[in-house]
């Protein structure tokens, strides 16, 4: 009888534990970050840098607005492909580093060049379903560099 | 003008890119005679770049034992090319169209082949941007080069 009673107690304790696994997702470890997270953050930052340059010098609006919009479209599309909201604490596109207000173009060129190389690298190793999007982003950044020449 | 149906595999994707390169080479014959000076030189350079992609594709497809599609004797123009403006318009469209075929090859390729397809996509996008600049068309860039619209 004692053994049977002990079994009941153990069984009773096991049920809430199972319930915890099933329903309390808060105890799970977060999934590993998507490999496209850095590229999505970079796209948002590039959009913000171009917008900051336009704000500092409205004469740059004509050439830079389509580029800023393209980066924003890339960020949105990458976010959609990643399929998760922006990780908490992540920057939502605040420019990092101070752009030279006198001439922001050399800094933007350097950022586009680095961005193009990062997107090309991501495209090279991406699964098939992401390759076309990443290829378009790499090619777009190369054309931005051409515009900023 | 950009491929509407996705290719079934790597050989089909590269064969489709080859047909696009044939058409681009043919189109530049029509385009070049309507241009002068720097623009004509740029058209010659663009045609040479497409010829070199064509040759590389023929080599690649034939060494893989796959079907190598033949060139056609001529192609239908989307509109009459009678002057500089229509020649530059066609040049932009030819590059965007060819970019679309290379973009479509990205999901079907890996490693060196994918890098080659990305380089071709990027070159097409860059030439499209330069032709827009020559034509005085803005914006100079599109957000997703080669993406079907």
Q: Can you give the residue ranges of every domain in chain B?
A: 10-135
Residue percentage of chain A with pLDDT more than 90: 64
What's the confidence (pLDDT) of residue A22?
55
Residue of B nearest to A66 (CA): B139
Query: Are residues A66 and B141, on separate chains, in Cβ contact within 8 Å?
Result: yes
How much is the average pLDDT of B47-68? Answer: 94
Residue A99, pLDDT above cutoff 70: no
Cis peptide upstream of residue B90 (ω within 30 degrees of 0): no
- Give yes or no for A60 touching B (CB within 8 A): no
Q: Could you tell me which CATH number the domain at B10-135 has?
A: 1.20.1260.10
A92-96 average pLDDT score? 49
Which residues in chain B have their CB less than 8 angstroms from residue A69's CB?
Answer: 143
ipTM above 0.90, yes or no: yes
In which band, very low, low, confident or very high, does the pLDDT at A2 lie, cut at 50, 70 and 90? Answer: very low
pLDDT of A31 reads 81
Q: Which residue has the tokens 């479509």?
A: B104
**What count of Cα atoms within 13 Å lies in the side-chain half-sphere of residue A134?**
29
What's the mean pLDDT in A83-101? 58
Largest CA distance in chain B: 45
Which of B98, B129, B141, B146 is best to mutate for the A interface (most A CBs within 10 A)? B141
Cβ-Cβ contacts under 8 Å, B140 against chain A: 63, 66, 143, 146-147
Instruction: Pick the residue of B96, B109, B110, B122 with the most A CBs within 10 A to test the interface with A by mutation.
Output: B122
Condensed to tens digits (0 to 9), the pLDDT of residues B78-122 reads 999 999 999 999 999 999 999 999 999 999 999 999 999 999 999
Helices (H) and strands (E) counted in chain B, each on its own, are 4, 0
Alpha-carbon distance of B68 to B21, in angstroms, equals 13
Residue with tokens 């490999």: A35
Cβ pairs bridging A and B (under 8 Å):
91
Q: Which residue of A has its CA nearest to B109?
A: A128
At A13 the pLDDT is 43
Question: Is omega for the bond preceding B140 within 30 degrees of 0, making it cis?
Answer: no
Q: Is the pLDDT of residue A107 over 70?
A: yes
pLDDT digits (tens, 9 = 90+) for B9-18: 899 999 999 9
């Amino acid at each position: 009888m004692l053994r049977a009673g002990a079994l009941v107690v153990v069984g009773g304790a096991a049920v809430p534990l199972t319930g915890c696994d099933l329903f309390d997702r808060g105890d799970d470890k977060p999934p590993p970050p998507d490999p496209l997270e850095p590229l999505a953050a970079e796209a948002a930052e590039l959009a913000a840098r171009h917008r900051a340059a336009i704000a500092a010098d409205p004469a740059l609006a004509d050439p830079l607005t389509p580029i800023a919009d393209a980066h924003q479209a890339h960020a949105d599309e990458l976010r959609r492909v990643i399929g998760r909201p922006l990780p908490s604490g992540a920057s939502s596109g605040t420019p990092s580093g101070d752009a030279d207000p006198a001439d922001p173009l050399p800094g933007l060129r350097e950022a586009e060049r680095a961005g193009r190389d990062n997107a090309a690298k991501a495209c090279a190793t991406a699964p098939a379903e992401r390759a076309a999007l990443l290829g378009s982003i790499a090619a777009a950044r190369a054309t931005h560099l051409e515009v900023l020449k | 003008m950009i491929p509407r149906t996705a290719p079934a595999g790597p050989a089909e994707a590269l064969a489709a890119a080859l047909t696009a390169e044939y058409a681009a080479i043919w189109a530049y014959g029509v385009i070049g005679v309507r241009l002068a000076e720097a623009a004509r030189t740029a058209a010659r350079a663009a045609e040479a770049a497409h010829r070199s992609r064509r040759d590389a594709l023929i080599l690649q497809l034939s060494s893989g034992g796959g079907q190598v599609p033949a060139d056609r004797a001529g192609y239908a123009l989307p509109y009459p090319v009678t002057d500089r403006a229509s020649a530059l318009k066609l040049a932009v469209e030819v590059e965007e169209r060819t970019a679309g075929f290379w973009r479509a090859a990205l999901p079907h390729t890996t490693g060196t082949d994918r890098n080659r397809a990305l380089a071709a996509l990027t070159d097409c996008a860059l030439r499209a941007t330069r032709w827009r600049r020559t034509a005085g068309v803005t914006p100079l860039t599109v957000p997703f080069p080669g993406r079907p619209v």
